[in-house]
């Protein structure tokens, strides 16, 4: 039995409410910030059901890809997104690996660590394609979601330091509907504190990583907690398969 009510006060507990019906996904902030969704093995087809039938939803972009990049992105994709993908897809294969993705994201945001990039690759990859690459559709959704995570980051980085401290992170997560217990907050922050100076904080890529892990694991918990009681039962195998992909990308 797993429970999170035991680690938070009553006014912090995760309980049923109208906000619980929001369309949470493992990547995007909740609905007040975002309406985008992440491709997954269960939802990939439905996530892209609004695209025209001619829009490619599987890998194998190479034929004709060199001639017209735009045709392989969702209609209305920002040209900057297309240019960024094109700049790192040097072999014109129509998909990019983790290093190419890191380069693309770092060109837009100041530095993206490879650990965060691998988590993003896990969350956004097409389950019907290679596990270590993403294509134009996934890249466009990822780019949009990161922009919306950036809005949350900037809102709570009130001192404009470029980092989110413990208190700011707690408020940011709470605004998204996650009352993270203090004990968990300590574990999170300990990963980003400089052991020599005792100082630390989350820059944007750390914030994205942290937010997606908290959100993703919480959403998986909700799938088992069908009564919104704050408790859920997992088998040992299902617990490992739920948690490990988020912490060992």
Phi, psi of 32 (to 5 degrees): -65, -20
Nearest alpha-carbon partner for 146 in 210, 205, 69, 77? 205
Weakest mean pLDDT among 33-47, 109-123, 161-175, 229-243: 33-47
List pLDDT tens digits, range 133-150.
Answer: 999 999 999 999 999 999
Residue 208 CA to residue 82 CA, distance in Å, equals 22
CA-based radius of gyration for the chain: 19
* Range 2-12+32-247: architecture per CATH: Orthogonal Bundle (1.10)
Q: How many CA atoms lie within 13 A of 110 on its CB side?
A: 6
In whole angstroms, give the CA distance from residue 140 to residue 32: 20
pLDDT greater than 90 at residue 168: yes
| CA gap 24, 14 in Å, rounded | 14
Contact call for residues 14 and 173 (beta carbons, < 8 A) = no
CA distance 85 to 72: 11
pLDDT, tens only, 77-134: 999 999 999 999 988 888 999 999 999 999 888 789 999 999 999 999 888 888 889 9
pTM above 0.85, yes or no: no
- pLDDT value of position 101: 96
Domain boundaries defined on the chain: 2-12+32-247
């Amino acid at each position: 039995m797993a429970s999170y009510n035991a680690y938070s006060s009553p006014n912090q507990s995760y309980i049923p409410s109208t906000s619980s019906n929001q369309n949470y996904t493992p990547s995007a902030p909740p609905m007040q910030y975002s309406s985008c969704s992440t491709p997954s093995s269960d939802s990939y087809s439905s996530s892209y059901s609004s695209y025209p039938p001619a829009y490619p939803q599987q890998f194998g972009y190479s034929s004709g890809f060199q001639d017209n990049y735009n045709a392989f992105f969702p209609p209305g994709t920002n040209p900057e997104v297309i240019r960024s993908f094109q700049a790192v897809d040097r072999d014109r294969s129509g998909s990019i690996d983790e290093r190419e993705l890191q380069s693309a994201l770092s060109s837009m945001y100041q530095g993206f660590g490879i650990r965060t990039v691998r988590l993003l690759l896990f969350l956004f990859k097409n389950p019907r394609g290679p596990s270590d690459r993403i294509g134009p559709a996934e890249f466009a959704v990822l780019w949009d979601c990161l922009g919306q995570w950036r809005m949350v980051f900037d809102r709570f980085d009130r001192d404009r330091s470029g980092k989110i401290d413990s208190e700011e992170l707690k408020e940011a997560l709470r605004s998204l509907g996650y009352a993270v217990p203090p004990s968990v907050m300590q574990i999170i922050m300990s990963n980003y504190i400089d052991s020599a100076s005792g100082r630390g904080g989350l820059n944007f890529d750390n914030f994205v990583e942290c937010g997606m892990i908290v959100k993703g694991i919480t959403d998986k918990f909700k799938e088992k907690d069908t009564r919104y009681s704050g408790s859920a039962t997992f088998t040992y195998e299902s617990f490992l398969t739920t948690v490990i992909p988020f912490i060992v990308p």
